[in-house]
Structure 1
Amino acid sequence: MFDDLATFGYQISPGDIGENITTSGLQLERLPLGALLRLGPSAAVELTGMRTPCVLLDRFQTGLKRRLLNGSERPPYKCGVMGIARAGGPLRAGDKICVFLPGRDRARLPPL
C-alpha cells in the first residue's frame, strides 16, 4: 500500500498511520474473518476486521482518506486489518508469515 500511495505523492513510512506490524506480499484485507497469522517463530494474530479509513488520515496528509477509497471494488477501500494477539513472541524484520484459514464458513472481514 505504501508503494502505491507513493506514486500519488504520499510519503508514508511504516508506523506513520498507526500500524503495529507492516507486511509485504499479502493482501490481508482479502483474508476471511478468523484467519490466523503465524508471525515469526511463535507469535499469532487472529484477524477480526478491516481498519476503516477515517478523517485522521487527512490530518496526517491532505487527501489521503479519499486516495484509500476503492469505490465499488472489493474491498471498498485500501486498509490495514485488525486482530487479536493469540500468542506472543519475538518478531524481526523479514520474518515469515504463515496464514491459516478458518473452516468452511469463511465470512469477509467486517469494517471496524
Structure 2
Amino acid sequence: MSDPRVVAVSRDDRHRFSKVPVESITLVEGHGVEGDAHAGAFVKHRSRVRKDPRQPNLRQVHLIHAELFDEARAMGHELTAGDLGENVLTEGVDLLGLPTGTLLDLGGPVVRITGLRNPCVQINRFQPGLIKVVLAKADGTPASRPAPPTGSAGASAPVVRKAGVMAVVERGGEVRPGAAVTITLPAEPHTPLQPV
C-alpha cells in the first residue's frame, strides 16, 4: 500500500450527485468545504433538512478511498475524482476500517470522522449497477439495499457500505492533491463506524 495521501479534491456549490475536481479546497472549522452545497453547521442533505433542519451537520466533508475506483473498474465501472460526490479522494488509507472519531490531518487541515456514507439509489441513477460496488454483504454476496437489522426476521450477513466516510472539520485550511494524510486514532475503546 502506498503512503497515505490526498489524490484529488472536489466541491460543488449546487446539490448535485457529483462534484467538480479543483486544484484545492478550503476547509472551514465547524462548517465544511468553503463554497460547497453541503457545508454548514446544520444538515444540508435535502432529506435530512425536511426531517429536522436544526440537526448538526455530521456530513461536512465526504472522503472516499481511491482503491474503491479500482474495485469499480474491475466490475466494469469507470470513475473519476468527484464522480461519487466526494470532497477528498485518498489513497493508502483504510477509511472504512477506521473507528468513529479518528482524526485525519490532510496536510494541515484536520477532519474528524463521524461515520459512513450510506449509499443511496442515486448511485444507480449515476451508473446502473454501481450500487453493487458500494454496497455488499459481509459474506461477499451483493446487496441492493441495506439488510434488516441483525437479529430481526429476515436478517442475513451484515451489509458493508463502501461509499466512503463522512467527517466534520476540526481545523481549517487548504487541502491540495499530494498532501500527506496523518491518522490519529481516538482513545479506546473504539467505536466502529455507522451510517450518518
TM-score by length of 1: 0.92
2:163 alignment partner, one of 79, 94, 105: 79
Q: Is the 8 A contact 2:116 2:161 kept in 1?
A: no
Q: Is the 8 A contact 1:50 1:109 kept in 2?
A: yes
> Paired residues, what number?
111
* Bigger radius of gyration: 2
Q: Is the 8 A contact 1:29 1:75 kept in 2?
A: no
Tell whether 2:71 aligns with 1:4.
yes
Question: Which amino acid is the alignment partner of residue 53 of structure 1?
Answer: P
Give the superposed CA RMSD.
Answer: 1.4
Higher RCO (CA 8 Å, separation ≥ 6 residues): 1
Q: Percent identity?
A: 39
**Structure 1 residues 97, 75: CA separation in 2 closer, same or farther (over 3 Å shift)?**
farther
Unmatched segments (≥5 aa) in structure 1? none
Q: Which protein has the bigger strand share?
A: 2
**Alignment match, 2:126:** 60
Once residues 130 and 186 of structure 2 are traced to their aligned partners in structure 1, the CA distance between those partners, rounded to angstroms, is: 33
**Alignment match, 1:21:** 88
Question: Which amino acid is the alignment partner of residue 110 of structure 1?
Answer: Q
Unmatched segments (≥5 aa) in structure 2? 1-67, 140-157
**Alignment match, 1:96:** 180
Q: Which runs of 4+ in 1 moved over 6 A?
A: none
The alpha-carbon deviation at position 70 of structure 1 amounts to: 2.5
TM-score by length of 2: 0.54
